[in-house]
Amino acid sequence: MVRERYFQQLDLLKKCVLSFGELAELIFRDSMSSVIDLDISLAEKTLALEFEADKLEGRIEASVFDLLALQQPMASDLRLVVSTLKISADLRRVVGLSMNIAKIPGRMEGGHVKPLIDTGKMANIVAFMLENSLRAFETQDAQLAREVAARDEEVDKLFYAVWVELIEMMAKDTSIISRATNLLFLIRYLERIADHCCNICESVVYLVTAKKVTLN
């Protein structure tokens, strides 16, 4: 083949995004565990990983600019390069929101105001969405991307249910307002992470079909 180095660069870019995805998954899962178990030491370990995420994001950006400036990628290569830039920005937001989640245990004095059952369900769906949106990117599977994005609806429903429940609890017992507010933030972060997973799915559909779609 004629452009061996160029193909290697494209391949490396794709791998970088997948590594970034794995890191984001790890950070998200640990941030959730740290909240559910109120495990401050896990939360601190998780917070320390933000810097790794910045490094990866920087590498991906640099590589995208190099490819655009020096190689003039075309057709599916161009779509790959553009998608990786967008996916990497979404992953960076997922990491940022997970950082917010990992800050909750440090503020949570006196334990949770209720068992985190629906919130746990939300977190499981979000973890599924994150993992599989990246799998859809890896395997260029537009169908999987659409299926993953469709689960956003469940996340939104759970968000609303828990929201209402927490508001009602606070109305009855004002002494829990501070701790319940932390949970309100938590479910908001989860809902936002699911939206970023949907964005990733949209990028995958664009990568595979060249069509812009809205999936949530």
Q: Which residues of this protein are in contact with another protein, per CB under 8 A?
A: 1-3, 6-7, 72-79, 209-210
Which 3 state secondary structure label does DSSP give 35?
helix
CA atoms within 13 A on the CB side of 190: 33
Asked if 186 and 35 count as a contact pair (C-beta separation under 8 A), the reply is: yes
CA 28 – CA 99 distance, rounded (Å): 8
Q: How far is the CB of 14 from another protein (least distance, A)?
A: 15
With CA atoms as reference, report the closest residue to 85 among 207, 216, 172.
207
Cβ proximity to another protein, 3 vs 55, nearer residue:
3
Cβ proximity to another protein, 33 vs 71, nearer residue:
71
Q: How far is the CB of 167 from another protein (least distance, A)?
A: 48
Q: How far is the CB of 185 from another protein (least distance, A)?
A: 41
Q: How far is the CB of 208 from another protein (least distance, A)?
A: 10
- Compute how many other C-beta atoms are within 10 angstroms of the C-beta atom of residue 136: 25
Cβ proximity to another protein, 142 vs 177, nearer residue:
142
CA 186 – CA 99 distance, rounded (Å): 11
Q: How far is the CB of 174 from another protein (least distance, A)?
A: 58
Cβ proximity to another protein, 8 vs 175, nearer residue:
8
Cβ proximity to another protein, 25 vs 141, nearer residue:
141
Which 3 state secondary structure label does DSSP give 109?
coil
Cβ proximity to another protein, 189 vs 206, nearer residue:
206
CA 148 – CA 136 distance, rounded (Å): 9
Copy the structure tokens of residue 147: 């299926």
Q: How far is the CB of 66 from another protein (least distance, A)?
A: 16
Those residues whose C-beta lies under 8 Å from the C-beta of residue 161, and which sit 6 or more positions away, are 118
CA 188 – CA 152 distance, rounded (Å): 13
